[in-house]
Amino acid sequence: MLHTRISISNMKSIERELHCPVCEEMVKQPIVLPCMHSVCVLCAAEVLVQRGYPPPELPPEPNTPTSSPITRSPRQTRRPPPKTDLCGTHPGRRRKDTPPVIMLFPCPTCGKDVELGERGLADCLRNLTLERIVERYRHTVSLGSMAVMCQFCKPPQALEATKGCADCRSNFCNECFKLYHPWGTPRAQHEHILPTHSFRPKVLVCVEHEQERLPFYCRSCQRLLCPLCKLRRAHSGHKIMPIALAYQTLKEKITKEMNYILANQESVQAQITQVESGIAQTEVHSTGVLIILLVFVRHLFISAYESSVGALAMFLEGARAQRAGTLNAQLSEKQSLLENAALLTYTQELLKETDQSCFVQAARVTHNRLVKAIENLQHFSLFADPSFRHFQMDVSRELKALSTPLAPVIDTQKTLAYDQLYLCWRLPQDSAPAWHYSVEYQRKVGGAGALWGRVLSEGSSGSNGTHCSWQRLDDVGGTSAVIDKLEMDSVYVLRVRGCNKAGFGEYSEEVYLHTPPAPVLSFCLDSRWGLHAERVALGKGQTYARSVPGMTLLQAADRALTSCHLTSDLLVADVSITQGRHYWACSVEPGSYLVKVGVGIEAKLQEWFHLPQDMASPRYDPDSGHDSGAEDAQDSPPPFCFLTMGMGKILLPKCGASNTSTGPLTAPLPPRLGLCLDFEKGRLTFYDAHSLRVLWEGTVDCSAPVCPAFCFIGGGALQLQEQISLTHLILFFS
């Protein structure tokens, strides 16, 4: 059968429909995927190999005597290697069954992963209709490198082939065809076709049952069936019709749809004009939005931020390109609906197919495209808005980066005053970033005590005092700062603000910190007296101590106090105080049983803790508030002064400057306990170290060097307050 050639006027319009979506070249040996889209069989094999699947078994590459390295497909060189059997088989021995691999093929046309089935590409039927259309197209255009030469002419007089013989599987010029197919011989009955490089069978057969044709069509599965496949249980209850009926029905539908589009060419042309106008409007309006953006940038005085402006412009260009691409795709689809355009030309060639099975297989996708085209023709609207009326650009990040930082928030839990002031802050979550910070502080004169720790708004001042001039720490890189060279027993007001390229931000709320009443005494714990290594342990740096009670306490007879079955362990400072005023702070674990904190004369402390005295006797209680030794010597102060605390409480002695009641009282244990010793006056003051509120005052004999002392009775733990400069370095390097 001699097929009609494609007309020259339609030649170029159909070319887009004949390209493989993978290699974007003219399809060769196309197969139909389960999604009904067609690809080259070699391209499909390459995609599967790239996805890690084993190389599939492929049909032999066409290689006729006239095909040379120039005329053959360049994809022959990238043909996947054949599968190799690494575990060979022997007669009478079955290879171990392995579960089938379900292959997924990424269809570039519909963008979905299509399941190929257990046999992969072997389950995909050939698209013979598309093959024939490509052959007719190639024969019409007569591409130089694709020309088919006669296989029987002797060079250099070889002529271009005009006929192909499906039975001889060869191409002939007119003279050679007559010579090799003389009248009156069986060869004269051979079927001649157009010259081709591929002489594969021209009929579809079942991929599972060889030599079985496909006379049935399953509407439920939308696939062709052979008589054996029809009997399978998988198609029980499905709508199965003869292929002739499916062919006639589908051909009538496609013909009707094509005629409808041809009858509405004016509407198609009007819609094309509207889409082209939309594309032009998209360009104009996007340029207008870009001008507005630049004016907006200049209005905010942020022209120095070229990177931010460039990012916003790129976002706008991306939106313009996306809309223009969508409209161009719609324009291309509309143009294909014009007479002699791609889709209609391809449909006209499709209708020339007389093989019913091939037509039904290839026509379903075209039918769906025509249905969608008619729906869009009847209910036309642009796929993208060219006006940019509802276009939104998120510039919050850029505005945030181009604005000054918000007022920092000072962390009052971490901010403290000791030997120095330590200020810690953070930026609010929605604040612009800060490049550096400026910390300002000033000393408040008069009326300081009640204001310590208060946080006031900017510009406010206490009614009981005045302020000195502000001092400043500039270019602070982190979110904390240390301030030194301070006056003792003073209140300082602190505030901080961030800075970036946009300038300085707002000040934080002011925070008031009270410096200690005396210079800070720095020391470590010394365990040379009364330490039981099995129950008292010192931490690294000897600023932390913990006492663990247990049965071993009862066995320590040399330290046991006979009347109470408890033992005491004494820890002292590694320095002695001989003059002046000194301040230090510590924190006692709330769960401690009994801990005594205070000072004492070294010799007296050693004498008392090395003698097995009875702790139940009030004459030897080292707590000055309970020391009845004062009854025998009213004029001489006690040699040591302790304050007892435990179980989250402080036991305030019955005698003292701040206690006028007749009995002992308790107070909550503060997070940090401060002690201030005035050596010349022989007075020890206990403070809440956070607010510097006085808890209790006691006297102590300072006729000899005294040292800080800590006594554990039962289990407990304490931590000395470390100097701020040391703590700041530890936090910085960690």
Would you list the DSSP string of 246-276? HHHHHHHHHHHHHHHHHHTHHHHHHHHHHHH
Strand partners, 105: 114
Q: Domain containing 477 — which CATH number?
A: 2.60.40.10
* Residue that finishes a domain, picked among 145, 176, 200: 145
Identify the residue with better confidence: 99 or 69: 99
**Residue 598: per-residue pLDDT:** 94
Among the ranges 87-101, 130-144, 697-711, which has the highest mean pLDDT value?
697-711
Same structural domain for residues 548 and 680? yes
Query: 523 near 708, Cβ under 8 Å?
Result: yes
In this model, does residue 86 exceed pLDDT 50? no
Among the ranges 81-95, 366-380, 647-661, which has the highest mean pLDDT value?
366-380
Residue 721 lies in a domain: yes
Same structural domain for residues 279 and 319? yes
Q: Give SS3 for 77.
A: helix
Identify the residue with better confidence: 554 or 226: 226
**Residue 396: per-residue pLDDT:** 67
Q: Domain containing 14 — which CATH number?
A: 3.30.40.10
199 — pLDDT class (breaks 50, 70, 90): low
Q: Give SS3 for 116.
A: strand
Rounded CA separation 43/405 (Å): 57
Residue 411 lies in a domain: yes
Cβ count within 10 A of residue 77: 8
Rounded CA separation 158/161 (Å): 9
Identify the residue with better confidence: 425 or 268: 425
In this model, does residue 475 exceed pLDDT 80? yes
615 — pLDDT class (breaks 50, 70, 90): very low
The predicted model gives 167-188 an average pLDDT of 85
**Residue 621: per-residue pLDDT:** 46
**Residue 528: per-residue pLDDT:** 67
Strands 421-426 and 409-410: antiparallel
**Residue 297: per-residue pLDDT:** 65
The count of C-alpha atoms lying within 13 angstroms of the C-alpha of 145, restricted to the half-sphere facing its C-beta, is 6
Same structural domain for residues 374 and 406? no
Same structural domain for residues 511 and 531? no
Same structural domain for residues 358 and 427? no
Among 86-95, 300-309, 509-518, 698-707, the range scoring the smallest mean pLDDT is 86-95
The predicted model gives 109-125 an average pLDDT of 82
* Residue that finishes a domain, picked among 485, 515, 545: 515
In this model, does residue 105 exceed pLDDT 70? yes
Query: 250 near 360, Cβ under 8 Å?
Result: yes
Residue 496 lies in a domain: yes
Query: 643 near 597, Cβ under 8 Å?
Result: yes
Q: 473's torsion region: left (phi>0), alpha (psi -120 to 50) or beta?
A: beta
The predicted model gives 435-443 an average pLDDT of 92
Rounded CA separation 507/439 (Å): 9
Rounded CA separation 234/241 (Å): 16
Count Cβ neighbours within 10 Å for each residue of 303-339 and write b for 16 or more, e otherwise.
Answer: eebeebbeebeeebeebbeebbebbbebbebbbbbbe
Identify the residue with better confidence: 600 or 456: 600
The predicted model gives 683-699 an average pLDDT of 92
In this model, does residue 203 exceed pLDDT 80? no
- Tell me which residue of 472, 300, 504, 481 sits closest to 405, measured CA to CA: 504
Residue 618 lies in a domain: no
Residue 120 lies in a domain: yes
The predicted model gives 535-562 an average pLDDT of 66
Residue 321 lies in a domain: yes
Rounded CA separation 23/475 (Å): 60
307 — pLDDT class (breaks 50, 70, 90): low
**Residue 733: per-residue pLDDT:** 38
DSSP alpha helix (H) spans, 226-339: 227-230, 243-263, 265-299, 306-335
Q: What is the per-residue DSSP string for 521-590?
A: PP--EE--SS--TTTEEE-TTS-EEEE---HHHHH-TTTEETTTTEEEEEEEESS-B-SSEEEEEEEE-T
Q: What percent of the chain has pLDDT over 70?
A: 73
**Residue 496: per-residue pLDDT:** 96
Strand partners, 696: 686
Same structural domain for residues 569 and 679? yes
In the DSSP assignment, the letter for residue 162 is -
Model pTM above 0.85? no
**Residue 498: per-residue pLDDT:** 93
- Tell me which residue of 24, 23, 5, 2 sits closest to 15, measured CA to CA: 24
Same structural domain for residues 588 and 483? no
**Residue 426: per-residue pLDDT:** 93
In this model, does residue 116 exceed pLDDT 70? yes
In this model, does residue 315 exceed pLDDT 90? no
In this model, does residue 488 exceed pLDDT 50? yes
Run of H or E residues at 180: helix 174-180
Same structural domain for residues 351 and 412? no
Cβ count within 10 A of residue 521: 21
**Residue 400: per-residue pLDDT:** 63
**Residue 72: per-residue pLDDT:** 39
**Residue 699: per-residue pLDDT:** 93
Burial zone of 583 (CB within 10 Å; 0-12 exposed, 13-18 middle, 19+ buried): buried
152 — pLDDT class (breaks 50, 70, 90): confident
* Number of domains, the chain: 4
The predicted model gives 200-223 an average pLDDT of 80
Same structural domain for residues 538 and 509? no
**Residue 128: per-residue pLDDT:** 84
Structure tokens at 686: 């206990």
- When the pLDDT of each residue in the chain is averaged and rounded to a whole number, the result is 76
CA distances from 315 to 87, 293, 299, 398 (A): 57, 11, 20, 13
Same structural domain for residues 354 and 423? no
For residue 354, the enclosing domain spans: 245-378
In this model, does residue 270 exceed pLDDT 80? yes
Rounded CA separation 426/42 (Å): 62
Residue 326 lies in a domain: yes
Same structural domain for residues 415 and 481? yes
Query: 711 near 642, Cβ under 8 Å?
Result: yes
Render pLDDT for 65-81 as a digit per residue (tens, 0 to 9).
Answer: 333 333 334 444 444 55
Cβ count within 10 A of residue 638: 22
Q: Domain containing 529 — which CATH number?
A: 2.60.120.920
Same structural domain for residues 546 and 511? no
Identify the residue with better confidence: 619 or 385: 385
Residue 617 lies in a domain: no
